[in-house]
């Protein structure tokens, strides 16, 4: 069985790589096109059983390429927005050494806390926070509903906060106003 799987993939790659690469090159050009085409065929290898046989192969590969290129563009857009934001920030003197050390310690605590979450929760938080995807986009990726993603996101954030506190982090709490004014 393994041999036939490999043979099918090789045939798929040989038959369609040039067209998938051309598709990517028309949209992004250069080295990026090579990288994106490679990513398309990585997906094809992982999901070979989902690739329709015969004339459905190339359209399926184009669908994957469309999603890979779209993801690439979203990332490029985020990088441009970040560059623009960074350029517009005023240049100030560096923070005090103590502040940098505290920030680094908090960052390490967050990483340790996130590593203790379930893999599914880690991925959900990455998609929302790092990739900046909407709940609708995440639902589409995960094959879920938007309400389920909202609920899972809320639970994952709470779990991360608990793990952060267990790791020694302090989450600032809003001040609660006392009745009867200041005392």
Taking residues 65-87, what's their average pLDDT? 84
Q: Sign of the C-alpha dihedral, residues 129, 131, 134, 139?
A: negative
- The angle at the Cα of 106, spanning 89 to 177, to the nearest 5 degrees, equals 85
1 secondary structure, DSSP code:
-
Instruction: Mark whether 113 and 65 lie in a shared domain.
Output: no
Residues spanned by the domain of 133: 97-166
Q: What is the pLDDT of residues 28-44, one digit of tens each?
A: 878 899 999 999 999 99
Instruction: Mark whether 41 and 69 lie in a shared domain.
Output: yes
Q: In CATH, what number is assigned to the domain containing residue 140?
A: 1.10.10.10
SS3 24: helix
Most distant CA pair in the chain, distance: 79
Place of tokens 């267990």: 166
**Within a domain: 83:** no
Cβ within 8 Å of residue 155, ≥6 positions away: 121
Closest by alpha carbon to 70, among 42, 48, 40, 44? Answer: 40
Instruction: Mark whether 69 and 108 lie in a shared domain.
Output: no
Looking at 48, 78, 108, the residue that finishes a domain is 78
**Tokens linked to 149:** 């993603």
**Tokens linked to 61:** 């590969």
Q: What is the pLDDT of residues 84-125, one digit of tens each?
A: 777 777 766 555 655 555 566 777 777 788 888 888 888 888
Taking residues 54-70, what's their average pLDDT? 92
Q: In CATH, what number is assigned to the domain containing residue 50?
A: 1.10.1740
Q: What is the pLDDT of residues 145-172, one digit of tens each?
A: 999 999 999 999 899 888 888 877 777 6
């Amino acid at each position: 069985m393994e041999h036939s799987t490999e043979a099918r993939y090789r045939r798929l790659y040989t038959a369609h790589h040039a067209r998938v690469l051309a598709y990517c090159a028309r949209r992004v050009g250069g080295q990026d096109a090579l990288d994106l085409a490679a990513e398309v065929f990585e997906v094809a290898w992982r999901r070979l059983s989902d690739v329709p046989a015969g004339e459905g192969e190339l359209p399926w590969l184009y669908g994957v390429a469309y999603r890979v290129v779209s993801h690439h563009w979203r990332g490029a857009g985020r990088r441009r927005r970040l560059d623009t934001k960074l350029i517009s920030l005023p240049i100030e003197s560096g923070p005090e050494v103590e502040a940098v050390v505290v920030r680094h310690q908090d960052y390490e605590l967050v990483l340790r806390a996130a590593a203790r979450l379930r893999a599914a929760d880690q991925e959900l938080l990455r998609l929302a926070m790092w990739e900046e995807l909407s709940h609708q986009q995440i639902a589409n990726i995960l094959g879920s509903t938007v309400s389920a993603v909202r609920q899972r996101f809320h639970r994952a954030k709470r779990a991360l906060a608990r793990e952060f506190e267990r790791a020694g982090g302090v989450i600032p709490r809003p001040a609660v106003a006392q009745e009867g004014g200041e005392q």
